[in-house]
């Protein structure tokens, strides 16, 4: 692959990755507590490139790549800024006020963190997520009885004068260690463990996705056009190379 080919292919792959992330953002625009993702790019080290794998068979691979400044690697990051708060009037809906706070969810795969506070009750009265996973309370699982259960601003789960427990919330001073594991849930991979803090909630409300429909569509259109442009550039480069080879062959 020549110098122009490296540059066009690398830029095209970057735009393809952006398209994947931007499409996922827009698909989750109505997902409660969802956090927008974005792609950043940096110059790629030669040892991480496909050219490195060809080094033993293609003596020109390293030399070509070394002269290309646009070869990049991508990394997906998360925008943990707060989404808009939407009043719902539902007694088991709650929104976290601090953007670094999270609820704790117990799943078969282990502890997960989320900002989605659209909770419900299971058949036996446990406070659970919409898909049935237990919400962690200060004393463990929160088990309720009777009708009229509501969640207060301090996380207390009660029905009238009867208190069944309090929702446990944690705060991440640094969210860099959180990675998405589907929808609006995150898993801690590296980084400092969160600190347990008193719940600061807005009752009968939900934090919605922080994805902007307008900005998301503009980004998607821009990225799609860029991808098309790099694809056409790669095709043009290939056609020129083929033409050069043909012309060179005729002179022999």
Cα 218 from Cα 233, distance rounded (Å): 23
**pLDDT of 247:** 67
pLDDT tens-digit series, residues 192-230: 789 999 999 999 999 999 999 998 889 888 887 876 776
Residues 34 and 138 in one domain: no
- Give 244's strand partners: none
pLDDT exceeding 70 applies to what percent of the chain?
74
Residues 91 and 199 in one domain: yes
Cα 223 from Cα 202, distance rounded (Å): 37
**pLDDT of 200:** 96
Say which range, 40-49, 94-103, 104-113, 158-167, has the weakest mean pLDDT. 40-49
Say which range, 86-95, 120-129, 239-248, has the weakest mean pLDDT. 239-248
**Count of the separate structural domains present in the chain:** 2
Which one has a higher pLDDT value, 150 or 40?
150
Residues 180 and 91 in one domain: yes
Residues 30 and 64 in one domain: yes
Say which range, 90-99, 194-203, 228-237, has the weakest mean pLDDT. 228-237
Burial 33-56 (b: 16+ CB within 10 A, else e): bbbbbebebeebeeeebebeebee
Residues 135 and 192 in one domain: yes
**pLDDT of 216:** 86
Cα 189 from Cα 225, distance rounded (Å): 35
Residues 101 and 199 in one domain: yes
Question: How much is the average pLDDT of 114-139?
Answer: 96
> Burial of 229 by CB count in 10 Å (0-12 exposed, 13-18 middle, 19+ buried)?
middle
Residues 19 and 99 in one domain: no
**pLDDT of 143:** 96
Residues 74 and 94 in one domain: no
Flag whether pLDDT at 158 surpasses 90. yes
DSSP classification of residue 11 = H
Burial 143-157 (b: 16+ CB within 10 A, else e): bbeeeebbbeeebbb
**pLDDT of 67:** 47
- Give 136's strand partners: 141
Q: pTM (2 decimals)? A: 0.77
pLDDT tens-digit series, residues 25-83: 999 999 999 999 998 876 655 555 555 555 556 655 555 545 455 545 578 899 999 99
> Burial of 67 by CB count in 10 Å (0-12 exposed, 13-18 middle, 19+ buried)?
exposed
CB 134 within 8 A of CB 114: no
Flag whether pLDDT at 6 surpasses 50. yes
DSSP classification of residue 224 = H
Residues 18 and 72 in one domain: yes
Question: How much is the average pLDDT of 136-160?
Answer: 95
CA dihedral 131, 114, 104, 132 (to 10 degrees): 0
Residues 215 and 202 in one domain: no
**pLDDT of 193:** 86
Range of the domain at 125: 85-207
**pLDDT of 223:** 81
Residues 179 and 220 in one domain: no
Residues 115 and 156 in one domain: yes
């Amino acid at each position: 692959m020549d110098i122009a080919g490296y540059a066009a292919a690398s830029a095209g792959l970057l735009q393809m990755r952006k398209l994947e992330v931007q499409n996922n953002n827009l698909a989750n625009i109505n997902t409660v507590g969802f956090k927008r993702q974005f792609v950043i790019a940096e110059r790629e080290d030669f040892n991480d490139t496909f050219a490195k794998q060809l080094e033993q068979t293609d003596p020109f691979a390293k030399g070509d790549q070394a002269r290309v400044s646009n070869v990049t690697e991508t990394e997906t990051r998360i925008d943990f800024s707060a989404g808009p708060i939407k009043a719902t009037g539902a007694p088991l809906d709650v929104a976290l006020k601090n953007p670094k706070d999270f609820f704790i969810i117990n799943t078969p795969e282990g502890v997960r963190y989320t900002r989605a506070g659209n909770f419900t009750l299971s058949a036996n009265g446990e406070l659970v997520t919409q898909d049935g996973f237990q919400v962690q309370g200060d004393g463990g699982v929160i088990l309720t009885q009777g009708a009229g259960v509501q969640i207060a601003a301090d996380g207390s789960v009660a029905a009238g004068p009867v208190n069944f427990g309090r929702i446990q919330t944690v705060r991440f001073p640094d969210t860099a260690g959180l990675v998405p594991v589907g929808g609006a849930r995150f898993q801690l991979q590296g980084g400092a463990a969160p600190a347990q803090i008193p719940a600061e909630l807005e009752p009968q409300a939900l934090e919605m996705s922080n994805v902007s429909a307008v900005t998301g569509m503009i980004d998607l259109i821009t990225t799609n056009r860029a991808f098309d442009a790099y694809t056409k550039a790669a095709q043009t480069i290939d056609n020129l190379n083929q033409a050069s080879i043909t012309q060179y062959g005729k002179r022999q």
